[in-house]
């Protein structure tokens, strides 16, 4: 007897399983995500996704390719995660995402922060070498998500963008109101190689640092880095689409800006694969802490 399925629910389920399998099977396991031991064995599979068993005596836990991934324990369909990624790339509001995908506003919030956290780990280069270009931008302080606001005065938050020979850019807030060399030293300068040649754009503090650093070095011929040169205005244009980003979330949002700003062409599928490759899981408790401080 033929069973009918006019809404193609079975097909939808099957497609979802296939997507999930494809997404997760790209992940490479390097060690047990629970104890870090590299001594583990294959241990069957669940819904066609490989499982493993840790052979460390003190651990012995089983885990799979989905353990500690960005969407671990999510009961929503993998199609929805990908759709959410596209809406996020389009910079849609959380409310819009929630309505469109029929998820709760809370879920949309969790997902956005999980993704932003993944971006943070992915995009920021850990070192700057060869010709290093540095520029500065500034945004007004924003108290969104903050309790106990004691002042209405909004100071400038200074943001530095720097690029060496890597195909990514380091963008990070460094100080508030006044120039802070120590913070610059720690967050940017410590990552610049000694034999690098620094080109600074448009800021006298940065110019002075570049001059001192390049002392005695022959000027290396290189192209002007327009991304860094026009960083300030481009950042402001990008940020203007959001209705204010809380300063406490600024660093995370800047990681998103980097993806947008790179010359590389990337889409929601590339990003979904990329984020699932690593252990990008963020516990709901951690996100709840962010939320409770809102």
- Determine, following the binding rule CB under 5 A, whether residue 31 of this chain makes contact with Zn ion: no
34 interacts with Zn ion by CB under 5 A: yes
**Taking CB under 5 A as the rule, does residue 89 contact Zn ion?**
no
Return the number of the residue (62 or 124) whose C-beta is nearest Zn ion.
Answer: 62
Q: Does 33 bind Zn ion (CB under 5 A)?
A: no
Report yes or no: 165 and 131 within 8 Å, Cβ to Cβ.
yes
Helix 268-277 and helix 78-89, axial crossing angle in degrees, nearest 10: 120
CA nearest to 63, candidates 92, 41, 96: 41
**Which residue lies nearer to Zn ion by CB, 41 or 178?**
41
Torsion over CA of 258, 262, 266 and 269, rounded to 10 degrees? -10
Q: Is 35 in the site for Zn ion (CB under 5 A)?
A: yes
Do 31 and 37 form a contact (C-beta atoms < 8 A)? yes
Minimum Å gap between C-beta 55 and Zn ion is: 8
Least distance between Zn ion and beta carbon 269 (Å)? 31
The distance of closest approach from Cβ of residue 21 to Zn ion in the complex, given in angstroms and rounded to an integer, is: 24
User: Of 46-75, which residues contact Zn ion (CB under 5 A)?
Assistant: 54, 56, 59
Closer of 40 and 261 to Zn ion (Cβ) = 40
Q: Which of 37, 74, 77, 214 binds Zn ion (CB under 5 A)?
A: 37
> What's the min distance (Å) between Cβ of 32 and Zn ion?
3
Q: Looking at beta carbons only, is 44 or 106 nearer to Zn ion?
A: 44
Of residues 104-163, which lie at the interface with Zn ion (CB under 5 A)? none
Q: Which of 20, 24, 32, 114 binds Zn ion (CB under 5 A)?
A: 32
Which residue bears the tokens 């880095």? 225
Q: How far is the CB of 72 from Zn ion (least distance, A)?
A: 16
Span of 28-36, 132-140, 151-159, 216-224 interacting with Zn ion by CB under 5 A: 28-36
For residue 24, the minimal CB distance to Zn ion (Å) is: 19
Q: Give bridge partners of residue 162 from the DSSP assignment.
A: 134, 170
Q: Which is nearer to Zn ion, 56 or 107 (CB)?
A: 56
Q: Count interface residues toward Zn ion (CB under 5 A).
A: 7
Task: Please state the closest distance from residue 52 (CB atom) to Zn ion, in A.
Answer: 9
Give the footprint of Zn ion on this chain (CB under 5 A): 32, 34-35, 37, 54, 56, 59
């Amino acid at each position: 007897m033929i069973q009918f399925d006019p809404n193609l629910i079975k097909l939808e389920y099957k497609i979802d399983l296939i997507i999930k399998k494809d997404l997760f099977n790209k992940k490479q396991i390097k060690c047990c995500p629970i104890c870090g031991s590299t001594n583990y064995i294959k241990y069957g599979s669940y819904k066609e996704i490989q499982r493993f068993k840790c052979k460390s005596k003190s651990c012995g836990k089983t885990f799979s390719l989905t353990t500690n991934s960005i969407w671990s324990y999510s009961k929503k369909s993998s199609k929805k995660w990908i759709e959410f990624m596209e809406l996020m790339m389009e910079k849609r509001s959380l409310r819009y995402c929630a309505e469109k995908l029929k998820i709760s506003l809370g879920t949309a919030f969790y997902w956005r922060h999980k993704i932003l956290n993944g971006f943070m780990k992915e995009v920021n280069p850990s070192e700057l070498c060869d010709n290093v270009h540095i520029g500065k931008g500034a945004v007004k302080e924003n108290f969104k998500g903050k309790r106990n606001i004691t002042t209405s005065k909004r100071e400038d938050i200074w943001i530095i963008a720097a690029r060496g020979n890597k195909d990514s850019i380091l963008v990070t807030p460094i100080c508030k109101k006044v120039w802070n060399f120590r913070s610059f030293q720690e967050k940017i300068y410590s990552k610049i190689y000694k034999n690098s040649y620094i080109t600074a754009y448009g800021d006298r503090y940065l110019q002075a640092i570049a001059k001192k650093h390049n002392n005695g070095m022959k000027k290396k011929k290189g192209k002007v880095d327009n991304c860094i040169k026009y960083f300030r205005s481009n950042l402001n244009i990008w940020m203007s689409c959001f209705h204010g980003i809380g300063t406490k979330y600024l660093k995370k949002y800047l990681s998103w800006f980097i993806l947008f700003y790179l010359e590389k062409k990337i889409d929601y599928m590339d990003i979904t694969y990329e984020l699932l490759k690593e252990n990008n899981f963020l516990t709901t408790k951690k996100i709840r802490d962010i939320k409770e401080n809102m």
